[in-house]
Structure 1
Amino acid sequence: MRKTKIICTIGPATESYEMLEKLADAGMSVARLNMSHGSHASHAEVIKRIQSLNTKLKYPIAILLDTQGPEIRTGERDSNLNLKKGDIISVVARSAEDVEENSVMVNYESLITDMQVGDRLTVDNGLINLEILDKDQRVMRCKVVDGGVLKSKRHVNLPGIRVNLPAITDKDRSDILFGLSMDIDYIALSFVREADDIRQLHELLGEKQDKVKVIAKIEDQEGVRNIDDIIDMVDGIMVARGDLGVEVDFWELPNIQRRIVRKCAHKGKRVIVATHLLESMIENPMPTRAEVTDVANAVYEEADGIMLSGETTVGKYPIKCVENLAKIATSIERHRGLRFTEDLLTEHPKQNLAASAVHLAESLPAKAIVVITRRGRMANYVTNCHPILPSIHAFTNDGRTRRQLGLNRNVYAHKLQFSNDPEKTLNKAFTTLLEEEGFHAGDQVVVISDALGVSGSGLDAIQVRILGQ
């Protein structure tokens, strides 16, 4: 069974019920809603379709709401502007009425005060680069270093500049509250720069903080510098390589990705590698060999999830993209992975228990590790150990927990009505494995639980069981 989970961004190419069903069949575990596009009404329709689809699926699809964040963009244009290398243009930070036809307006009020002569502006994800030659209170004169066609509302990066924008904008706040009302499973907060950004989100979530899991998107140098503090505050990290690859030296991006993935593994947090995985497949039916290798590296690093963006929102081959990710991941996972159990043995008593269960399962060897859990915590601890051989089958009596475990590497989650008799609960779980998961009588499994106590009380335990006996 494939360990690496696939996240698909939903857009015009995939928002119908039929396409969502095909994405799920191809291997999608998490559906991402990009709040930079679409309305609450259109996203609500997608959520309802996924919730309806989940009633039929063997493994339900989790829903991740991705905030727009404090984005800086160029303004609306009546016509495209063709910028050639060496051109000198004006860049202003004011209303559209004040902009000359051949000027570039940026919607960041502090742009001119924050930028200095010699700094660079990067537009449209690095396709257009401008160097500041001089400035006054209203206008910056810039030289085009890398030219291109500038269209309306293109994304702007200010590499190395501490942007004076709120961590959670008014739009983000509205979008998050909308997501909470729709019972989403994950919130991905964009442009997280420091741990305090996450504290603000926790305050907004209020009493729902324990129900919705938080993913921090790392997209600039400041977020990289503060990564340890940020990881401690969240359930997971998204290595958002689009903006991050513009904000940092691009040749350092692979090292940053690997470092973040390993830090998350050691701290027991989920990690997603995102952006440009199969970018060429937006237009072409086959990925480039470099893209295949890029995906393979994320799987070698043992990321929990790999994410598609434009490939599944507006691409011509969204289903093929998911199928290709699944094929690459399955192929790479045949090789032995990393080991984390020894590094985790002193961090937490329940983590120690999980590490012991993984060692036992691999030494037998067992066919699977069976986790009985209410809130998913013990399944998280087992995931953190990155078991190489057995898959992890988690059984919970909570539907939201089951969906959220869809992001956990190597975890396959099941809904199960718990009994006050622990043995009856286990027998129900074993029946599911025998009847639905292709297990056979006589297969050995290692059972670990924090939810097998009588009348809902927790009881930590490890058992070796033989199915059918």
Structure 2
Amino acid sequence: MLSTQLDTKDLALELANPQILLTTLRQLRQAVYEEGQEIFSRWRSHIQRPAFIDSSLNLAYYLALRRHDLRHLQAALMPWGLSSLGRIEARVLANLDAVIATLAAVCHESPNPQISQPPLESFFEGDRLLKIHTQELFGDTLQQRRVRIMVTLPTEAASNYEFIKQLIQQGTDCVRINCAHDTPSEWSAMIAHVRSAEVEVKRSCQVLIDLSGPKIRIQSVIVPQGKQHIEQGDCLWLKRDLLNNGDSQSCQISCTLPEVVDRLEVGAPVWIDDGHIGAIVEAIAPEGALLRITHTRPKGEKLRPDKGINFPNTDLHLCPLTDKDRQDLDFIAANAKDVDIIGYSFVQKPEDIATLQQELQARLSSNTKIPAIVAKIETPTAVTNLPELIVQAAGKQPFGIMIARGDLAVEIGYQRLAEIQEEILWLCEAAHVPVIWATQVLENLVKNGLPSRAEMTDAAMAERAECVMLNKGPYIVQAVAILDDVLTRMEAHQTKKTPQLRALHSW
């Protein structure tokens, strides 16, 4: 420990010398350039959109940069009044070159033609590209607000035109139609109402169709007679087939994907109902898996059909496109002129993106508008593969990322959610890819009419994304109006990671 502290102190003293700091920065810049070029060369064949070439190259440089621990460099740059590289995401080389050129002038070195002060426009090129890619995905927004608002439509939107009109009037920029609910007939009615309301309100609103994906849910439940809740320490059978055989000794469930039992191993964690119930696989038997409940509230939890089940650390080998999804793609293809975005659940690998692109290509004629794709990031595998997912998708069509914070928190652990959420935001900004901040935003307000303090802070922090998604609820119209106000106010204080130092009037 002492030697580490001495090493850290020695390094800080060395970097206090501007000439040593300059040499270190030049070495870093060279390493970032070489490693970034090598990463980009692996991606180049997947990039067909010329508009994404510069963005993917910047992403490659950012990945190369973040392989290094920059904390000592950041501390050494601050006393010189130079950029400490903390907001470098959108413009990696331009930022490094500017710092190097300025520090070289401090050291009275002659200008280096290879690394000179970059032109002014290079500092704003990343912001410009992100704005373009966001407009491609979401269209234009109100002038006073950068961040878009997306709303999940309830069933009533199919029969209530005034409801959709009010949503758009209050500031909704995009509506989400969840294919896990309702029918194509209702989806068509929702889309028709959106297009009519656009004309009447004179505001554009994008339509996102969200494919259900292979969401694993409880199918059936059997509980012992008189038992109301499952509690910590209880046993729970996850069975392939659930027959009510009168066994009153144990709780039993079946799920919508029975073959998942074959992929479980003893010791594997299982989470039910968005993490309200935690369990560990205790044994595997011919009829199913025996789970031991490790986590519930003190009074226990109810087991209900249709609640989700997550299997962190278990590779389920699931294709994110189900047979139902393919049928829903037929609907999307038939309504391609009115469908702007496809939401893609449970994406894990670039091959998953390629599968959706191929399915779309097979259904759309050559002169048909190709919908954009939004990939929902909800597993550790998807986080690990995020750069390649971005390249595969954005290299061919408009693309965005949704941070599906509910499933992601269950999969990676709630204590890591804030950390991973930040890293996803940084990576997407480096790729100039828009991000949707999703899951339980203003949930109490939407459902009960009164927000909690914590969720108001969460909504304000969402300003760092390009879009915020609200779920359905009886107070959704009021929630849109409040979120519109919060985002507009926060934009005066912060843009992405950058504080905006407007004049303060509170004191």
Q: Which TM-score band (shorter chain)? A: 0.5 to 0.7
Q: Shift of the alpha carbon at 1:136?
A: 1.5
The match for 1:51 is 195
The match for 1:421 is none
Structure 1 residues 11 and 54, CA gap change in structure 2 (3 angstroms): same
Partner amino acid for 2:278?
Answer: N
Aligned partners of 1:91, 1:14: CA distance in 2, in Å?
37
**CA displacement 1:211-244 (0-9 Å, x = unmatched):** 2101111111110110100111231111111111
The match for 2:259 is 110
The match for 1:122 is 271
The match for 2:324 is 171
The one of 469, 473, 477 equivalent to 1:307 is 469
- Stretches of structure 2 that go unaligned for 5 or more consecutive residues are 1-143, 394-398, 503-507
> Which has the larger share of helix?
2
Alignment of 1:186-225 (within 5 A): 186-206=341-361, 207=364, 211-225=370-384
**CA displacement 1:151-172 (0-9 Å, x = unmatched):** 1121110012111222211111
Indicate the SS of the match to 2:197: helix
Partner amino acid for 2:442?
Answer: L
RMSD over aligned CA atoms reads: 2.5
Contact 2:145 2:488 in 1 (8 A): yes
TM-score by structure 1 length?
A: 0.68
Q: Shift of the alpha carbon at 1:68?
A: 0.6
TM-score by structure 2 length?
A: 0.63
Indicate the SS of the match to 2:402: strand
Partner amino acid for 1:269?
Answer: V
**CA displacement 1:131-152 (0-9 Å, x = unmatched):** 2211222222222222410111
Aligned partners of 1:216, 1:225: CA distance in 2, in Å?
14
The match for 2:433 is 269
The one of 225, 237, 249 equivalent to 1:90 is 237
Aligned partners of 2:475, 2:270: CA distance in 1, in Å?
33
- Counting matched residue pairs gives 338
> Which has the larger share of strand?
1
Matching of residue 182 in structure 1 with residue 330 in structure 2: no
**CA displacement 1:367-404 (0-9 Å, x = unmatched):** xxxxxxxxxxxxxxxxxxx9999xxxxxxxxxxxxxxx
Partner amino acid for 2:182?
Answer: G
- Stretches of structure 1 that go unaligned for 5 or more consecutive residues are 341-385, 390-469
The one of 317, 330, 353 equivalent to 2:475 is 317
Contact 1:74 1:156 in 2 (8 A): yes
Aligned partners of 1:304, 1:180: CA distance in 2, in Å?
27
Structure 1 residues 192 and 61, CA gap change in structure 2 (3 angstroms): same
Partner amino acid for 2:155?
Answer: P
Aligned partners of 2:222, 2:496: CA distance in 1, in Å?
53
Alignment of 1:27-426 (within 5 A): 27-77=171-221, 82-94=229-241, 102-145=251-294, 146=296, 147-183=300-336, 184-206=339-361, 207=364, 211-234=370-393, 235-299=399-463, 301=464, 303-309=465-471, 312=472, 315-338=473-496
Structure 1 residues 96 and 297, CA gap change in structure 2 (3 angstroms): farther
Identify the range of structure 1 (267-276 vs 24-33) with the bigger mean alpha-carbon deviation.
267-276
Structure 1 residues 317 and 339, CA gap change in structure 2 (3 angstroms): closer
Aligned partners of 1:318, 1:108: CA distance in 2, in Å?
33
Contact 1:194 1:230 in 2 (8 A): yes
Larger Rg belongs to: 2
Aligned partners of 1:96, 1:267: CA distance in 2, in Å?
51
Contact 2:222 2:244 in 1 (8 A): no
